[in-house]
Structure 1
Amino acid sequence: MADLQGIRVLMLATDGFENSELFEPRQALLDAGATVTLASIKTDPIRGVKNDSEPADSITPDLTLADVDVDDYEALVLPGGVGNPDKLRMEERAVEIVEDFVDDEKLVAAICHAPWLLVEADVVDGRRVTSWPSVRTDLENAGADVVDEEVVVDGNLITSRNPGDIPAFNRAIIEALAKVGADAD
């Protein structure tokens, strides 16, 4: 198991996140020793969903989008769900955060519907990615090379399709962050 001590990961989410796509990567990162910070529109508790409809678990964000300093993190993880990225892509600060992580060549991982944020941030042109099927046309229209694979790693960008891909998604994130940690030593 990779040791991610000292690695700081930011997650962005709001109401409507797919429960497993937030909690499972978060727990895998914590188990590997990373520090994980959750940012949202407000610091009021946010509620997840299962299968995009059934109410699920709540979690209280650590800080607001306005309080995020990209320099404080080595990676950004974006959980899906339909409502979550749809709301976040309308938040100028959320889009700026995604742009800044990509511009700084930091790791950005997005699963399911979360690549909508990558489209909104205009960071997929020429990149190889995957997503939930209904997001693929948006990705193609933004210039991405879209494939149907459980996890796609294109440089600092990691994407997956759905909750069934979470194990591969988590492995790819942890492997990439282990290299970041090794490079910092």
Structure 2
Amino acid sequence: MLTGARSWLFLMLFITNSNLALANPLSGEKEIILLDKQESEIVIGHVVFTPEQGVSGYRLHMDHEKFRDYFLSMKEMKCLVGPELWCHLAYPYEQPRRVSHEDLSWLSHDLLFMFKKRDEFGANFWNGIYYHMRVEDGVIKGEAQAVDLNLLASPPEDLSTPPMHEGERDEIERSQRWLPDIVIR
């Protein structure tokens, strides 16, 4: 049993370590949440961040129970069903899975989606969604941007650099898309 100064020191170390974990959005396990236009939340998985010298490695785990299987354009896809189909298309090539407070682009690449109307035939890869993410108030937040996923039909020359640069992305009409925002907390 801890007494006096020892118990106080233990309590202070516990509180400090707990606050550091909460203060760093790139440390520990976090939920991945998509938000619809009314800000209703859909938890689609979690990510585990491991800090390493100014950057964080990460492991992504999607909750496929939330998705339905679709066979679109000769490819099996996991899709969320709502006013649109929102199909997850993880980045298909090798990548470092490293992020920093200033650059979350590899995580954005692992959370690529394609949207389509439920009654449309096939997959339209030009209807890609890239969540441009940033750290804000200790939380990772992102807004959907339009991207042509056909850019990923063949591997980029440099596998160490994220290929979906700002020049390949466009703003979306937020009122037209089902899940315009992402939060990781």
TM-score w.r.t. the length of structure 1 is 0.26
In terms of fraction of residues, the more strand-rich structure is 2
The structure whose Rg is larger is 2
TM-score computed with the length of structure 2 as normaliser: 0.26
